[in-house]
Structure 1
Amino acid sequence: MAPPQLVANWERLKAEVVNPKVDQKTIGQLLLQLKIALTEARLLIPSPNSTLEDLVITRDVLELGAFWSVRNKDIPAFDRYFSQLQTFYTDFRNQLPPSPREYPLIGLNLIRLLTQNRIGDFHTTIETLPPSILGDNPFIQHPVHLERWLMEGSYNKVWQEREAAPSEEYKFFVDSLMKTIRQEIASCEEKAYDSLPLSDAMSLLFFTKQSDLVTFAQERGWNVNPSTQIIHFARKTEEKIEIPKEKIIVNSLAYAKELEQIV
């Protein structure tokens, strides 16, 4: 059984996460206290002897911790929380009541896999989900659409999907995905153009503020002319590869002579 103080802190955590005025540090401290208490009570890693109440409390704490990690942009912490939740979502699925946070968190993890270009892990996770969930659940459909459009190169649809995100936490991962996409588009622009108007560059790179574009341009070493409103791309000097023509001809003639002798 969970100690009374652990249960009290769990109730307090649930109240604080829905409090719009709460300091995120307060939630972080509560989560730390709860994880220590769960470890001491040997509940953080569930066993077949764990009571239903213990399993629900532990799963609840880990789920709230995963959401808190995303809100604080702490991806390693999110990875740890989600990894610990896998036991509850798989081994104890039949013993626990369904959690309304399960598929939102699975969806967040799917987008995280996309941001890390772990497409194989993405599809492996998709294959473990019930077919009905793939077709009806908005938290799963969102990353599935993102992956499809990424493969198609439809980056404008990826950007538009950000506004259709089923929760605010999803937008953080989509923004991370857009950063990777911008770098790829920028590399293509540098090779395809000598310069571009700022307005065109903003549209191509999906920026809504010119100041953000200017900062991005400076990071890549582009020259921004504020008077003409044009970006000049910094071209890298192409390396010239000399082909040893004479050596190739001599070797080819030698091979030809050897073939004649063989024949």
Structure 2
Amino acid sequence: MASSSSSSSSSLRAQHSALLSAFQSSSADPKSLGSQLTKLKIALTQQGLLAPRPDDPSLSKDDLLLARDVLEVGAFWSIRVKDVRGFERYMDLLRVFYTDLSAQLPPSSNHEPLLGLTLLRLLASNAIAQFHLILETLPPSLLSSSPYLQHPVHLERCLMEGSYSKVWRSRAQVPREEYRYFVEELMGTIRGEIASCEEKAYSSLPMRDAATLLFFESAGEVSKFAAERGWQINPSTQTVHFTPQQQQQQGNQLDPKRAMIASNLQFARELESIV
């Protein structure tokens, strides 16, 4: 039995090393990584390490660290393959390592990046209450010192101020590559809000103005977005026309939204001229 246990542990460590090597490679194949993770999770389950009990004396510190490593790689990998639900499942499994086992294990260098990604996910899905609930549980010193946490906090502040251009520019200022995915998702949420205002405030807009307001860099992106929203584009005049069903509000109810759109558009034009 001892020999079998030793062999199993040796195999697990070999798989763990192979996973880390593949994950750190710039040419890593996502499908291959996914297959490696699946095999490792099965092995961890068999040894009681996938969801360990904090009071289990049979689990060594080294085994727990290995399991944490695997789950952290899985969380990052999920973002790389755009599997948000997978990311959430990995974070659920990691919770016991970051909380119940925190006294037994040294801090993980991946904890803050993954926590920041969790905050970004909540922002992107407009779950602001949950976002603030997590913030309230974190030490102020950590929030002020960690670039991984400062990033989502800064973006949330920009959202509250309506400074969408700062959110747009933050795509080039992510503390880790995986953050870019959720920033793009957040921009999708922002575009939906802006589009709703445009539909209520205008019957049509020049395509160039629509692109500026929606932070698109090409006519093709505007066309694709317009098709998703059911907008019509006149190719000869390069004008975006909003459908009648999206223009139910009349009269003075439109004025505040029209003024806001006009103000934002003027600001965007001035910003372009400065840059």
User: Which category of TM-score, normalised to the shorter sequence, fits these structures?
Assistant: 0.7 to 0.9
Residue identity matched to 2:191: R
Matches within 5 A, 1:69-80: 69-80=78-89
The aligned counterpart of 1:8 is: 14
Q: Which runs of 5+ in 1 are unaligned?
A: 241-263
**CA 1:178–1:239: 2 relative to 1, 3 Å:** closer
The 3-state SS of whatever aligns with 1:224 is: strand
The aligned counterpart of 2:158 is: 149
The 3-state SS of whatever aligns with 1:85 is: helix
Q: Which of 165, 177, 184 pairs up with 1:175?
A: 184
Residue identity matched to 2:164: Y
The aligned counterpart of 2:248 is: 238
The aligned counterpart of 2:169 is: 160
The aligned counterpart of 1:130 is: 139
Moved over 6 A (4+): none
Structure 2 length as normaliser, TM-score? 0.83
Report whether the alignment pairs 1:19 with 2:22. no
Say if 2:61 and 2:105, in contact at 8 Å, map to a contact too: yes
Say if 1:149 and 1:155, in contact at 8 Å, map to a contact too: yes
The aligned counterpart of 1:103 is: 112
Residue identity matched to 1:207: F
Q: Which of 194, 197, 206 pairs up with 2:206?
A: 197
Residue identity matched to 2:173: A
Q: Deviations over 1:140-199 (max 9, x none)?
A: 001001111112222111111222111111110111111111111111111111211111
Report whether the alignment pairs 1:88 with 2:97. yes
Residue identity matched to 1:190: E
Q: Deviations over 1:213-254 (max 9, x none)?
A: 1111122121212222211221226399xxxxxxxxxxxxxx
Moved more, 225-234 or 136-145: 225-234
Separation in 2, partners of 1:90, 1:111:
21
Separation in 2, partners of 1:39, 1:64:
17
The aligned counterpart of 1:245 is: none
Q: Which of 44, 53, 56 pairs up with 1:38?
A: 44
The structure with higher relative contact order (CA 8 Å, sep 6+) is 2
Say if 2:125 and 2:189, in contact at 8 Å, map to a contact too: no
Separation in 1, partners of 2:127, 2:224:
29
Separation in 2, partners of 1:146, 1:197:
29
Say if 1:190 and 1:235, in contact at 8 Å, map to a contact too: no
Q: Which runs of 5+ in 2 are unaligned?
A: 251-275
Say if 2:234 and 2:240, in contact at 8 Å, map to a contact too: yes
Say if 2:200 and 2:248, in contact at 8 Å, map to a contact too: no
What's the % identity of the aligned pairs? Answer: 52
Q: Deviations over 1:123-156 (max 9, x none)?
A: 1211222221111111000100111111222211
Residue identity matched to 2:76: F
Moved more, 1-10 or 33-42: 1-10
Matches within 5 A, 1:211-226: 211-226=220-235
Residue identity matched to 2:25: N
Structure 1 length as normaliser, TM-score? 0.87
Say if 2:200 and 2:249, in contact at 8 Å, map to a contact too: no
Cα RMSD after superposing both structures: 1.6
